C-alpha cells in the first residue's frame, strides 16, 4: 500500500513555495517600477527649480524662492568647481562654472556628505547648468557649502559682483 498523502503534501508544498517566490518577484518588480517613476518625477521638479534659479540669476534678482522635489532623500544645490572637482555633466558641457541640483544617494554613509560624495550624487542623479560667472553657493556666513532644498519654499538670496554670484540662504 502506497502513502499517497505524503506525496500530495510534497506536491502542494512545492506549489505554495513557487507561488510565494512569484509573489515576491512581482512585489520587487512593482517597487522597482515605483521608484523609477518617482526618481524621474523628482528629477523633473529639480530641473524646473534649477532652470528658474538660472533665470533669476540672469535677471539679477535679489532673491528666489526655490521649491524642490517632495522626496524621502534630500536634494541640494551646489556649485562647481568644488575643491578641484567637477561632475561629468559639467565637464561634458566644457564649462568652468556650473551649478547643480543633486539627490543625496547616501549609498555610503561615510562619504555621502563629503566632496567626493557630492560629486557621486551629482553624477548619479543630478542636473547641472553652466553659468557665465563663478557661482558660490554658501551658507549665510559666506562659507562654501551646499543648500538643502525641500518641498517647502526656501528663500535664496543672491549677491552679484563683477567676478561672481553668491547664492545663499
Yes or no: say if 53 and 65 are a contact pair by the CB < 8 Å rule.
no
Global confidence as pTM: 0.68
Nearest Cα neighbor of 75 from 54, 56, 47 is 47
Q: Where are the domains of the chain?
A: 4-168
For residue 169, the model assigns a pLDDT of 81
Alpha-carbon gap, residue 168 to 160, rounded angstroms: 12
Mind listing the pLDDT tens digit of every residue in the chain (169 residues)?
Answer: 455 555 667 778 888 888 899 999 888 888 777 766 666 778 888 889 889 999 999 899 999 888 877 766 788 888 888 888 888 988 888 888 889 998 886 554 444 456 677 888 888 888 899 888 888 888 888 788 888 887 777 888 888 888 888 888 8
Maximum alpha-carbon separation in the chain? 98
CA dihedral 123, 125, 127, 133 (to 10 degrees): -40
DSSP code of residue 6: H
Nearest Cα neighbor of 123 from 82, 156, 158, 159 is 82
Q: Where are the alpha helices (DSSP H) in 59-131?
A: 88-93, 115-124
Q: What is the phi-psi region of residue 124: left when phi exceeds 0, alpha when psi lies from -120 to 50, beta otherwise?
A: alpha
Amino acid at each position: 500500500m502506497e502513502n499517497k498523502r505524503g506525496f500530495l503534501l510534497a506536491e502542494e508544498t512545492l506549489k505554495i513555495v513557487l507561488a510565494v517566490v512569484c509573489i515576491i518577484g512581482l512585489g520587487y518588480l512593482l517597487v522597482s517600477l515605483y521608484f523609477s517613476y518617482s526618481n524621474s518625477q523628482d528629477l523633473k521638479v529639480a530641473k524646473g527649480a534649477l532652470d528658474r534659479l538660472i533665470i533669476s540669476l540672469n535677471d539679477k534678482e535679489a532673491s528666489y524662492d526655490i521649491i524642490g522635489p517632495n522626496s524621502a532623500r534630500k536634494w541640494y544645490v551646489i556649485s562647481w568647481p568644488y575643491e578641484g572637482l567637477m561632475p561629468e555633466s559639467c565637464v561634458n558641457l566644457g564649462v568652468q562654472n556650473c551649478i547643480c541640483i543633486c539627490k543625496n544617494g547616501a549609498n555610503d554613509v561615510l562619504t555621502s556628505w563629503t566632496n567626493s560624495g557630492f560629486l557621486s550624487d551629482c553624477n548619479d542623479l543630478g542636473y547641472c547648468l553652466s553659468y557665465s560667472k563663478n557661482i558660490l553657493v554658501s551658507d549665510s556666513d559666506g562659507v562654501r557649502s551646499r543648500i538643502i532644498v525641500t518641498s517647502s519654499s526656501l528663500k535664496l538670496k543672491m549677491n552679484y559682483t563683477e567676478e561672481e554670484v553668491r547664492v545663499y540662504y
